[in-house]
């Protein structure tokens, strides 16, 4: 079974600074996807960024980027120029690749606090 | 506007009663999912369905049942056999094709179920 581990229950960063959220995973599959979701106080889940395991290039979406280390099974999220609106729970998630539509396996989340 | 609706937002039930949570999507997605969220636990997969009239158990299916009679609808019944039903329930949907940006899961706003 796949597992996803987020070792930081809570992180705090000053506005405009950079913060990195950690995620490790365990799988025997070679084809899979990794995701970071944001859950603000409204509790709506929002996809932040995704990474396909077969792609060596790290994904980037504006201020959000990942450091994907496949051999180490590590998938960290870097948020640059942190903004107050970035404050939320962040979840790392895994999905098996290939066809079909399996469910996601989530980590327990990291609560990100942005200090003004 | 396309999206996923879950109703109601808050639901209260007495212990021992079955309750059905609604999930409807107009995204023309084949696959639908139910997740449960508890404090400090992240999201856990209850059931998922890749196509009408077919569904599979997720990691925590005991005490729950689902049906998939229509592509747009995937209701979840929390039965009296579920020992700790109080939680936040999230429904999601996705396509089920293999592709670079396919299979992204879109989430509904969630239903908070409280069993008294």
Q: Are strands A110-115 and A10-14 parallel, antiparallel or unpaired?
A: parallel
Please check whether residue B4 is in contact with residue A71, taking contact to mean a CB–CB distance below 8 angstroms: no
| DSSP SS3 for B77 | strand
Whole-angstrom distance, CA of residue B6 vs CA of residue B111? 7
What phi, psi does A71 have (nearest 5°)?
A: -65, -35
- Which pLDDT band, with edges at 50, 70 and 90, does B77 fall under? very high
Residue B34: both structure tokens together: 């139910």
What phi, psi does A40 have (nearest 5°)?
A: -75, 180
| DSSP SS3 for B78 | strand
B33 → chain A, closest CA residue: A103
Any idea what DSSP says for residue A85?
Answer: G
Contact A101 B42 (CB under 8 A): no
**pLDDT recorded at residue B102:** 58
**pLDDT recorded at residue A106:** 96
In chain A, which residues have their Cβ closer than 8 Å to the Cβ of B45? 103-105
List of residues 6+ apart from A100 with CB closer than 8 A: B50, B96
**How close B40 comes to chain A (CA, Å)?**
6
Region of residue A73 (phi > 0: left; psi between -120 and 50: alpha; otherwise: beta):
left
What phi, psi does A105 have (nearest 5°)?
A: -105, 125
pLDDT digits (tens, 9 = 90+) for A55-106: 889 999 999 999 999 999 999 999 999 999 999 999 999 998 876 678 999 9
Mean pLDDT for chain B?
A: 91
- Which pLDDT band, with edges at 50, 70 and 90, does B93 fall under? very high
**pLDDT recorded at residue B97:** 65
Q: Are strands A64-69 and B31-38 parallel, antiparallel or unpaired?
A: unpaired
- Which pLDDT band, with edges at 50, 70 and 90, does A112 fall under? very high
Q: Which residue has the higher pLDDT, B80 or A67?
A: A67
Interface of B with A in 73-112 (CB under 8 A): 88, 90, 92, 94-98, 100, 103-105, 107, 109-110
Place of tokens 């005991």: B62
- Which pLDDT band, with edges at 50, 70 and 90, does B103 fall under? confident
Interface of B with A in 49-78 (CB under 8 A): 50, 58
Whole-angstrom distance, CA of residue B88 vs CA of residue A97? 27
* DSSP state letters, B36-60: EEETTTEEEEEEEEEETTEEEE-TT
**pLDDT recorded at residue B11:** 94
């Amino acid at each position: 079974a796949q597992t996803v581990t987020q070792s930081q229950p809570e992180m705090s960063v000053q506005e405009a600074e950079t913060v990195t959220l950690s995620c490790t995973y365990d799988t025997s599959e070679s084809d899979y996807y990794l995701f970071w979701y944001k859950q603000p106080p409204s509790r709506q889940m929002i996809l932040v960024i995704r990474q396909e395991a077969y792609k060596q290039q790290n994904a980037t979406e504006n201020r959000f980027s990942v450091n994907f280390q496949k051999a180490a099974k590590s998938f960290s999220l870097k948020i640059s120029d942190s903004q107050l609106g970035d404050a939320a729970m962040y979840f790392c998630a895994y999905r098996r690749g290939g066809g079909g539509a399996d469910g996601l396996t989530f980590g327990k989340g990291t609560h990100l606090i942005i200090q003004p | 506007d396309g999206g996923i609706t879950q109703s109601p937002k808050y639901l209260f039930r007495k212990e021992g009663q079955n309750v059905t949570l609604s999930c409807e999507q107009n995204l023309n997605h084949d696959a639908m999912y139910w997740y449960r969220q508890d404090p400090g636990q992240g999201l856990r997969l209850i059931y998922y369905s890749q196509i009408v009239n077919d569904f599979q158990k997720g990691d925590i299916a005991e005490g729950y049942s689902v049906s998939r009679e229509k592509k747009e609808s995937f209701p979840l019944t929390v039965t009296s056999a579920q020992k700790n039903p109080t939680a936040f329930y999230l429904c999601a949907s996705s396509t089920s094709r293999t592709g670079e940006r396919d299979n992204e899961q879109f989430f509904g706003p969630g239903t908070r179920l409280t069993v008294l």
